[in-house]
């Protein structure tokens, strides 16, 4: 989280973080517990409300745009259905008070063959037509493409130019393909670290929040576990399970794999950052033919 804040120029926020936490704890009558150790986009700490209810206080690292507003809008629209319930918020401070859930899916050590159906079904449970004010899939594709173009150069070109060019071409394809009639509410960052135990099942946390084609979420599932299995086979499986377009899933996966590999490089999260970029290079080296089911 500190590395991310420094990369975004939010050093003043880091310095003022203890005071901000104390202010919110007093305002919401919270008793502070242990901070979570692995977030990259926010400071997250266990809290207990004055009535004894366990909760989570999340303080988003500030950045250009309206990250807090988007997450708040998404969680209000989701209404606790397949996602953590939003208990309170202060948009101007990037602060959210959330339902506390159980351990992450990543803590359970399940093989991908068992994880993927859980995550795929959580994604589908979120999808619904909506008219809320969230960025579109076209905006997401353009935003990620700009990030890839800029950060790849800033980091000293940590993967080959062919992988970057392929990711940018995929991003442009998905930007042009955005169609309001197919757009639904999507989480935008579904993976095993963002799925938490809730009773006998799981709920999602940390949404990016978009109104986009459903394949946008499935591209994230294709991005993850980059060194495991045949990615084309996984793409077909995701499309078959959800009745969606495998080429769209493939293209979102191409863009998201490079963008996330660069983001994780900034955060120093290895070896997964290098694995994602290596997978992108391997796909680029295999040729430029589009994915065909």
Q: Which band of pLDDT confidence, cut at 50, 70 and 90, is reported for residue 186?
A: very high
What does the pLDDT read at residue 280? 95
Q: Using one digit for the tens of pLDDT, what is the confidence trace for 60-77?
A: 988 776 678 999 999 999
Q: What is the mean pLDDT of residues 82-91?
A: 96
Q: Using one digit for the tens of pLDDT, what is the confidence trace for 32-46?
A: 999 988 777 889 999
Domain-embedded: residue 291: no
More confident residue, 179 or 288: 179
Same domain, 32 and 67: yes
Same domain, 196 and 241: yes
293 has a pLDDT exceeding 50: no
114 vs 106, 120, 121, 202, CA distance in Å? 12, 11, 12, 13
Q: Which band of pLDDT confidence, cut at 50, 70 and 90, is reported for residue 6?
A: confident
Q: Which band of pLDDT confidence, cut at 50, 70 and 90, is reported for residue 286?
A: confident
Domain-embedded: residue 201: yes
% of the chain beyond a pLDDT of 90: 83
Domain-embedded: residue 292: no
Report the CATH number at residue 215. 3.90.1200.10
Mean pLDDT across the chain, nearest whole number? 93
Domain extent, residue 51, equals 2-99
Q: How far apart are CA 273 and CA 265, in angstroms?
A: 5
Same domain, 41 and 146: no
Lookup result for tokens 């990615």: 231
More confident residue, 5 or 250: 250
With residues binned 3-state (H G I as helix, E B as strand, rest as coil), the percentages for the chain, rounded to 5, are 55, 15, 30
Same domain, 141 and 40: no
């Amino acid at each position: 989280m500190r590395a991310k804040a420094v990369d975004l120029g939010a050093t003043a926020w880091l310095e003022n973080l203890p005071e901000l936490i104390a202010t919110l704890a007093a305002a919401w009558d919270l008793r502070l517990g242990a901070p979570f150790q692995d977030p990259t986009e926010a400071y997250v700490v266990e809290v207990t409300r004055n009535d004894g209810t366990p909760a989570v206080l999340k303080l988003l690292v500030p950045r250009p745009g309206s990250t807090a507003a988007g997450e708040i809008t998404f969680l209000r629209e989701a209404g606790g259905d397949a996602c953590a319930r939003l208990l309170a918020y202060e948009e101007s401070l990037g602060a959210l008070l959330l339902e506390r859930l159980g351990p992450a899916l990543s803590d359970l050590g399940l093989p991908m063959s068992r994880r993927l159906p859980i995550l795929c079904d959580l994604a589908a449970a979120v999808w619904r037509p909506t008219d809320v004010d969230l960025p579109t899939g076209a905006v997401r594709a353009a935003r990620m493409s700009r990030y890839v173009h800029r950060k790849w150069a800033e980091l000293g070109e940590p993967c080959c130019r062919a992988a970057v060019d392929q990711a940018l071409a995929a991003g442009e394809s998905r930007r042009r393909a955005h169609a309001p009639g197919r757009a639904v509410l999507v989480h935008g960052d579904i993976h095993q670290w963002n799925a938490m135990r809730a009773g006998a099942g799981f709920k999602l946390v940390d949404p990016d929040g978009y109104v986009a084609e459903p394949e946008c979420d499935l591209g994230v599932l294709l991005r993850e576990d980059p060194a495991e299995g045949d990615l084309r086979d996984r793409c077909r499986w995701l499309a078959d399970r959800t009745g969606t377009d495998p080429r769209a899933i493939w293209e979102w996966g191409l863009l998201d794999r490079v963008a996330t590999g660069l983001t994780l490089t900034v955060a120093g999260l290895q070896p997964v950052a290098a694995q994602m970029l290596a997978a992108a290079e391997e796909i680029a080296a295999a040729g430029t033919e589009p994915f065909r089911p």
